[in-house]
């Protein structure tokens, strides 16, 4: 074999050795890296624990639904593989805590079920509202109890200027209708919200409730409020007058109770007085003869709620000729009120009603040319004009509590007075910007 051929074979052998070595090293590197890959895949993070109603939901198959029409506690459990003998036993054990017949359509419920192929329910949780819930636990022994979700109270401040009416203005500020109604109730005896004018102003300090920090659960209370009507101030401060019985009311800056024995109107919002008490009224239809009008007509849309203007007992609830559907209430030995032309009555004779309770709805029954409630007012058996009467006030703060009340509201009044209106915030912003531009120049 010549030298050239030997050289070529040597080169081929050398190349083969190098390739073998490369493959060997590559395989070795793969083998060294393989355990690392397997170890990385083997690491599985445990899911975060999720607690609700006092249970770790990761331990169960969670089924959520709402009560449907025709649903019952037994049918819900039976659909989920619980037999009726056990259902009856569960209901009997739970009845001292919760009556299962009180399930309401549309309310949510939760079933906590076993994490196996059967997924049998072990716990039934019912939520009658956003805050409260009822637990019927039958995992081992059967026991039932009521609880509340954690509630966070957040105090808020708001101010506004009336440009149409209270409800429209509050809606534009994205405030709850419940807050609007509460404020209207506070001032129902001292302000006629129908007569609020464009440019009137208000400030409110109130507290909202939140479940688990984020879910809005409604209004808790109105701490204080201020209205400016016709340049006249109207303050309102919440104050507990009897801590034992939990009685509270609203008073002004001089400790005067804002409540009166009678509301100014049997309708809360969106009405107009279409005809006042007038003993010399003449009507063209009757040839301009004097036909006295012994009531005050509050015109409003059909179906508008009509409220009792004071506490009392229903003495009449019937239909009678020109009066149509009407209700009459005796408040005490001196005062009575009557409400005519109702579409429908809500109360019965002998029933006790509280101030502000709905007793019927605006209609057009009897002799009437349009939807309204004719509100009549008796004093000592004689019909009188309620707007010309000096009506009794509610109980004032006792002398022993007055000093305590004035000390209590002092810092709250400062807080209320310090709340700026939107236009004031806007003016401050403009002034600050102008000052910044001036200083830069």
CATH number of the domain within which 331 lies: 2.70.70.10
Do 284 and 380 lie in one domain? The reply is yes
Domain membership flag for residue 14: no
- Rounded mean pLDDT of 335-362? 94
Residue 436 sits at the vertex; the CA angle it makes with 435 and 439, to the nearest 5 degrees, is 85
Q: Evaluate if residue 36 carries a pLDDT over 50.
A: no
Do 381 and 318 lie in one domain? The reply is yes
pLDDT of residue 166: 75
User: What is the rounded distance in angstroms from the CA atom of residue 314 to the CA atom of residue 339?
Assistant: 11
Lowest-pLDDT choice from 293-297, 340-344, 420-424, 437-441: 437-441
- Rounded mean pLDDT of 290-294? 75
Q: Evaluate if residue 24 carries a pLDDT over 60.
A: no
Do 165 and 114 lie in one domain? The reply is no
Do 323 and 244 lie in one domain? The reply is no
User: What is the rounded distance in angstroms from the CA atom of residue 227 to the CA atom of residue 225?
Assistant: 7
- Please enumerate in sequence order all residues whose Cβ is within 8 A of that of 400, keeping only pairs 6 or more positions apart, or say none: none
Tokens standing for residue 236? 């309102």
Domain end point (choices 109, 124, 148): 148
Do 134 and 171 lie in one domain? The reply is no
CA 195 remoteness from chain centre: 27
Domain membership flag for residue 113: yes
Do 164 and 136 lie in one domain? The reply is no
Q: Evaluate if residue 376 carries a pLDDT over 90.
A: yes
User: What is the rounded distance in angstroms from the CA atom of residue 191 to the CA atom of residue 160?
Assistant: 17
Residue 328 sits at the vertex; the CA angle it makes with 326 and 332, to the nearest 5 degrees, is 170
Domain end point (choices 367, 388, 409): 388
Q: Evaluate if residue 97 carries a pLDDT over 70.
A: yes
Do 209 and 127 lie in one domain? The reply is no
pLDDT of residue 364: 93
Which neighbouring-strand residues pair with 229? Answer: 232
pLDDT of residue 124: 97
pLDDT of residue 290: 63
Do 348 and 297 lie in one domain? The reply is yes
Which of 348, 356, 349 is CA-nearest to residue 310? 356
- The more confident residue out of 405 and 1 is 405
Do 135 and 162 lie in one domain? The reply is no
Q: Evaluate if residue 348 carries a pLDDT over 90.
A: yes
Domain membership flag for residue 367: yes
- Please enumerate in sequence order all residues whose Cβ is within 8 A of that of 135, keeping only pairs 6 or more positions apart, or say none: 53, 54, 123, 124, 125, 144, 145, 146, 147
Domain end point (choices 373, 388, 403): 388
pLDDT of residue 163: 82
Tokens standing for residue 22? 């490369």
pLDDT of residue 190: 80
Check which CATH number belongs to the domain holding 90 and give it.
3.10.450.350
**Domain interval for residue 168:** 153-251
Which neighbouring-strand residues pair with 331? Answer: none
Could you identify the residue written with the tokens 């005809």? 275
pLDDT of residue 1: 47
Do 374 and 278 lie in one domain? The reply is yes
Tokens standing for residue 122? 């072990």
**Burial per residue of 31-54, b for 16 or more beta-carbon CB atoms within 10 angstroms, e otherwise:** eeeeeeeeeeeeeeeeeeeeeebe
Structural domain total, the chain: 3
Domain membership flag for residue 382: yes
pLDDT of residue 41: 41
Domain membership flag for residue 264: no
Tokens standing for residue 305? 């709620």
Predicted confidence (pLDDT) per residue in 150-204, tens digit: 899 999 999 999 887 777 888 888 888 889 888 988 887 788 776 778 889 999 9
Domain membership flag for residue 333: yes
Domain membership flag for residue 42: no
Domain membership flag for residue 319: yes
Do 161 and 128 lie in one domain? The reply is no
Do 64 and 118 lie in one domain? The reply is yes
- Rounded mean pLDDT of 104-118? 94
Average pLDDT value over all residues in the chain:
83
pTM over 0.75: no
């Amino acid at each position: 074999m010549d030298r050239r051929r030997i050289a070529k074979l040597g080169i081929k052998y050398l190349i083969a050795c190098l390739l073998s070595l490369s493959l060997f090293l590559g395989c070795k590197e793969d083998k060294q890296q393989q355990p690392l890959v397997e170890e990385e895949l083997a690491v599985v993070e445990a899911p975060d624990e999720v607690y609700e109603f006092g249970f770790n939901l990761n331990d169960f198959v969670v089924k959520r639904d709402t009560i449907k029409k025709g649903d019952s506690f037994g049918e819900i459990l039976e659909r989920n593989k619980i037999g009726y003998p056990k259902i009856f036993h569960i209901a009997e054990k739970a009845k001292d805590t919760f009556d299962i017949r009180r399930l309401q359509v549309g309310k949510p419920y939760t079933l906590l079920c076993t994490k196996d192929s059967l997924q049998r329910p072990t716990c039934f949780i019912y939520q009658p509202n956003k805050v409260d819930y009822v637990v019927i636990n039958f995992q081992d022994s059967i026991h039932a109890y009521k609880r509340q979700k954690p509630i966070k109270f957040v105090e808020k401040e708001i101010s506004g200027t009336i440009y149409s009416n209270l409800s429209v203005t509050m809606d534009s500020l994205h405030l709850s209708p419940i807050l609007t109604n509460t404020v209207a109730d506070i001032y129902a005896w001292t302000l006629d919200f129908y007569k609020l004018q464009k440019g009137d102003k208000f400030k409110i300090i109130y507290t909202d409730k939140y479940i688990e920090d984020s879910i809005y659960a409604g209004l808790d209370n109105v701490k204080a409020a201020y209205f400016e009507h016709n340049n006249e101030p109207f303050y309102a401060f919440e104050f507990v007058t009897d801590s034992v019985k939990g009685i509270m009311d609203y008073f002004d800056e001089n400790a005067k109770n804002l409540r009166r024995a009678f509301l100014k109107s049997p309708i809360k919002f969106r009405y107009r007085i279409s005809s006042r008490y007038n003993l010399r009224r003449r009507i063209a239809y009757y040839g301009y003869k004097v036909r006295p009008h012994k009531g005050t007509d509050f015109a409003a849309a059909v179906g508008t709620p009509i409220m009792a203007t004071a506490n009392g007992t229903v003495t009449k609830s019937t239909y009678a000729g020109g009066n149509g559907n009407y209700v009459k209430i005796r408040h005490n030995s001196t005062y009575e009120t009557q409400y005519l032309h109702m579409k429908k009555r809500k109360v019965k004779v002998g029933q006790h009603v509280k101030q502000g309770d709905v007793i019927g709805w605006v209609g057009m029954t009897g002799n009437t040319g349009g939807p309204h409630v004719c509100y009549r007012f008796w004093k000592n058996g004689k019909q009188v004009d309620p707007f010309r009467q000096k009506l009794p006030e509610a109980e004032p703060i006792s002398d022993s509590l007055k000093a305590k009340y004035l000390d209590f509201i002092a810092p709250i009044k400062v807080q209320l007075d310090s709340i700026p209106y939107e236009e004031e915030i806007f003016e401050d912003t403009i002034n600050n910007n102008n000052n910044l531009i001036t200083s830069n120049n």
